[in-house]
Amino acid sequence: MLDRKYERQMSGKEKRKFEAEKLSQMTLKEKIEYLWMYYKIYLLIPVILIVLIWVVVQMYHGMTEKVLLNLMILDGNGTLDRTDLEEDITDALGSGKKNEVVKINANLSASSEDYNSNIALTTLVGAEAVDVMICPEETYRQYADQGGFMNLEDLIPEEELAGKTSEKDALILEKCSYLEQKIGVSYEPVYVCIMENAQNKENAAAFLEMLLKNVS
């Protein structure tokens, strides 16, 4: 208490020298406790400012960001670099603006035994956050039975689909080295579908047309 009393009578320079001498005599633990007790408000202000700046930046990006396509790839390799695939898609969509993005999720499993992946997929589909789903047959059947996919003929010209193996609501690829190379999809057959509640239907159709060109 005496130190703090005398400190109030010191000049700014004397206070800084006094504090430096006091801290030099303390252990690391004592320094932390002392600084927190007397200077915590000054320590917290920069942290609060950094958090506020981060929140504002994230909000700004969220408001200005335009999602061109939400692509869900089940049983892909989520560790692979997706840059090439993203660039292929943005080129196919004719996008060049910085705020336009393609979102690719390749981290979920198609296994019916993976409870967390099943819940996550159901949630994303229900939230209209999936435009195109790439999946194995089991997952396709599950959602197709519920009318979860669009009729491709409503979006893609008939001549584009001519000669291709497909259901009315799915493009079926027996072998797709393009997707295997780009995102690690190695199972066969691969079902590519546009969700009934897709928010970017035209872009989803453009993606399927791009895919057809790369597997033909």
17-59: per-residue pLDDT in tens? 766 777 678 787 776 777 677 767 766 777 777 777 767 766 6
**Which fold does the domain 67-215 belong to in CATH?**
D-Maltodextrin-Binding Protein; domain 2 (3.40.190)
pLDDT given for residue 9 in this prediction: 60
Note whether 146 and 122 are within 8 A (CB): no
CA distance 114 to 26: 54
CA distance 42 to 105: 42
Give this prediction's pTM: 0.70
Which residues of the chain register pLDDT less than 70?
Answer: 1-12, 15-16, 18-19, 23, 31, 35, 39, 42-43, 54, 57-64, 96, 216
Beta-carbon contacts of 172 under 8 Å, excluding residues fewer than 6 positions away, are 164, 165, 166, 189, 190, 191, 192
pLDDT of residue 90: 92
Q: Where are the domains of the chain?
A: 2-61, 67-215
